[in-house]
Amino acid sequence: MAKMMTPAIQRQQKKMKGSAQVKTGPWRDAWKRLKRNKSAMISLAIILFFVVLAFFPQYIAPQGYDEQNYSLAFTAPCKEYPLGTDNFGRDILSRLIWGAQMSLTIGVVSIIFSVIAGGLIGAVSGFYGGKVDNLLMRFMQENKLPKGKKNKASENPLEETTTYHIDGRSFVVKPVFKDDSANTFGAILLRLMQADCERKP
């Protein structure tokens, strides 16, 4: 028995065929999520604006980065020079645009170099493993203090003899005992000395 094709069924089949033809992938999904975020799209537009500005300064910058005119030195911002000129009469806006090219180029090149170097080191470490892996990981990881030693930056500065200069006077504070709390003998003594100096004219 032949199946009746109603207009509703035909529309449903067309929708199913259209959805089946839509390609999906991680990049496509990421782009869809990005388009739904207005703040992200505004940020992307700003980034693209500066990228175009940096890579095509010869078409955007009013002047070259090295064009000088001493008669226009220290010109105030005006229609011809929106940001004024420097002590050599060079257009500051043009130099900013040309400088953006150099800054962005340095950033991109450094990132590419870091990715290549990190990829090579990771590949060698993963391929050989063992001692090579341990050696490379020890070399690449951050320097850490030996086990059992404290970081002096995180210690209480009053745990050792300290000299304080207050109102032309020098006070040498040496704690009698050490404690993990903030109310050590040195801290109490320091507060007493500060209060004594505040009372005296």
CB 100 within 8 Å of CB 50: yes
What is the mean pLDDT for each group of 10 consecutive residues in the chain (201 residues)?
Answer: 62 64 73 88 91 86 85 88 90 90 90 93 86 79 50 50 74 63 66 73 58
Residues 189 and 98 in one domain: no
Residues 74 and 41 in one domain: yes
Residues 128 and 162 in one domain: no
Domain boundary among 116, 139, 162: 139
Confidence (pLDDT) at 23: 61
Domain boundary among 139, 166, 191: 139
For 173, the token pair is 């504070």
Confidence (pLDDT) at 197: 72
Confidence (pLDDT) at 21: 53
Confidence (pLDDT) at 160: 66
Residues 57 and 82 in one domain: yes
Continuous H helices in the chain: 7-21, 26-36, 38-55, 57-60, 92-128, 130-140, 185-199
Within a domain: 144: no
Confidence (pLDDT) at 28: 85
Confidence (pLDDT) at 109: 93
Q: Which one, of 95, 112, 106, lies nearest residue 53 by Cα? A: 95
CB 138 within 8 Å of CB 127: no
Within a domain: 109: yes
Within a domain: 23: no
Residues 125 and 160 in one domain: no
Within a domain: 147: no
Domain membership of residue 99 as a residue range: 32-139
Within a domain: 21: no
Counting the structural domains of the chain, the total is 2
Residues 49 and 132 in one domain: yes
Residues 170 and 101 in one domain: no
Residues 169 and 133 in one domain: no
Amino acid at 81: Y
pTM of the complete model: 0.47
Domain boundary among 105, 139, 173: 139
- Whose tokens are 């032309």? That residue is 168
Confidence (pLDDT) at 143: 47
Residues 194 and 125 in one domain: no
Burial of 85 (0-12, 13-18, 19+ CB in 10 A): buried
Residues 99 and 38 in one domain: yes
Residues 135 and 161 in one domain: no
Within a domain: 14: no
